[in-house]
Chains A and B, each alone.
Chain A
């Protein structure tokens, strides 16, 4: 099979199946209901389970239950629905279970709108639910990359026994792009017998639980989780460098849809103004590519950073922290479902160069 032209939502559904995920529980919400629609059609035919729950709360608790039995499971939703799932997310992390969540982010807060946004960065990377836990957060920027990271998400969740979240937006979910499933293969699941509730005949009972009434035990458990997240910081950071070869004066930072707009703006700007600007695109939002940005901030050729987001400034805080604000960190954003266009992004880059006197 060669490349096929596929809608983002449908590609996400197909990728989950290719990843070996045959259990999907969800509640529809725009702009990603097509994922549920696709899996409702596909899963029953291949012996999988599709279940439309009565709410996002129920869907996420079903994910909790299924994950406890050691099967690959996922749910998908969009911002308001993800908020409703936050209780289960905390319990799943607390019970150290692997599961995959997809958030096709829409404008917020509250019901917000249905158009693309990156306003859930804080929620995904820092505040998915109560207690001391983190998601491993992946932010693909096109349909093929979404497929590739869907495949990686399940083994990653299993490696850490921790939920993994993929974030996208309505643009990626609704648009069609070429996708190649040829080189897409699922990784076999490792041992689940040691922790999953698969029936305890001839072995010790496995218990799925997140209750630790003994504070010393809970503290120890929290430390264990902290170690896990530190290990992610050491081993899982993924980012892309774009136009970084010639030691650019200005380094842009953007992820997902916004990074594509920034790339176009960079290409046009470099052609027109002959000034050097590059991009660091975080692909993992947590763990954040802290070191690469900190190192760049100490380089003499870097005069300023420019962050572009569809939010009022969320990843911006991580960039400021990563760079220790050794160099100015400028910010440009569109909100409410509006995707920045290349022209205004180019103007933003121009202004940064003006400020640094180039």
Chain B
């Protein structure tokens, strides 16, 4: 079993964090993981992306040309990564910021209003990444969602209100994703 997931958006959208939470959760679940960030010369406000590889055996190539799953948080990321997804792969689109979808018909596309879901709970879109992660797990439960919740408890444990809000965003998004899964 192996999953490759690319998270992409602009700097500040919590792209790296979403990937880290997933990698941490998968590791805690006893799986092999690698979290690979994009690094290199980037403009402020430019695209940031990371790839998480989750595997039942030691991760070979950490370089992934065609991920099975991509989570895109802004329009440039949709344009860049939708074409790279493997056939029959999954594309999670942050519909709060991206009106379009991909023209591809050989992938499963799910629109999730990530910023809106964060705003409804926090008043701001800061936890759009958590919504995206929740929706992703809803669509494809690569690891039990409780593993991610445990990671959030560790990270936000000292701030109960923040934890509670983020758990709500995560769970709501998970349910949204899960419904889509049933329709698929």
Contacts and interface: CB of A to CB of B under 8 A. Distances in A.
Interface of A: 3, 5, 31, 114-115, 142, 170-171, 174-178, 257, 260-261, 263-265, 267, 337, 339-343
Contacts of A175: 34-37, 62
B39 to A, nearest CB: 5
Most chain B CB neighbours (cut-off 10 Å) among A5, A114, A337: A5
Contact of B23 (A5, A267, A342): A5
Contact of A342 (B33, B37, B41, B65): B65
B59 A177 contact: yes
Contacts of A174: 36-37, 39
B35 A177 contact: yes
Contacts of A339: 63
11 contacts: A171-B62, A175-B36, A177-B34, A178-B32, A257-B62, A260-B61, A264-B61, A265-B61, A267-B60, A339-B63, A342-B60
B172 to A, nearest CB: 26
Contacts of B60: 260-261, 263-264, 267, 342
Contacts of A337: 40
A142 B36 CA distance: 12
Contact of B33 (A170, A177, A264): A177
Most chain B CB neighbours (cut-off 10 Å) among A171, A175, A337: A175
Closest 4 CB pairs of A and B: A264-B60, A176-B35, A264-B61, A261-B61
Contacts of B27: 3, 5, 178
A277 to B, nearest CB: 14
A178 B33 CA distance: 7
Interface residues of B, number: 21
A343 B61 CA distance: 11
A5 B24 contact: yes
Given A174-B37, A265-B61, 4 more contacts: A142-B58, A142-B59, A260-B62, A337-B40
Contacts of B65: 341-343
Contacts of A3: 27
Interface string B47-64: 000000000001111111
A31 B35 contact: no
B171 interface: no
A3 B65 CA distance: 28
B116 interface: no
Contacts of B24: 5
A166 B60 CA distance: 20
B75 interface: no
A31 B23 CA distance: 22
Contacts of B61: 260-261, 263-265, 341-342
Contact of A171 (B33, B41, B58, B63): B63
B132 to A, nearest CB: 19
Contacts of B63: 171, 261, 339-342
Contacts of B34: 175-177
A170 B39 contact: yes
Nearest to B52: A176
B16 to A, nearest CB: 10
Interface string B17-41: 0001001100100001111110111
Most chain A CB neighbours (cut-off 10 Å) among B39, B61, B63: B61
Contact of A5 (B35, B40, B41): B35
A269 B162 CA distance: 48
A339 B61 CA distance: 10
A18 B28 CA distance: 24
Contacts of A171: 36, 62-63
B36 A115 contact: no
Contacts of A267: 60
A171 B60 CA distance: 13
A114 B40 contact: yes
A340 B62 CA distance: 11
Contacts of A265: 61
Contacts of A170: 39
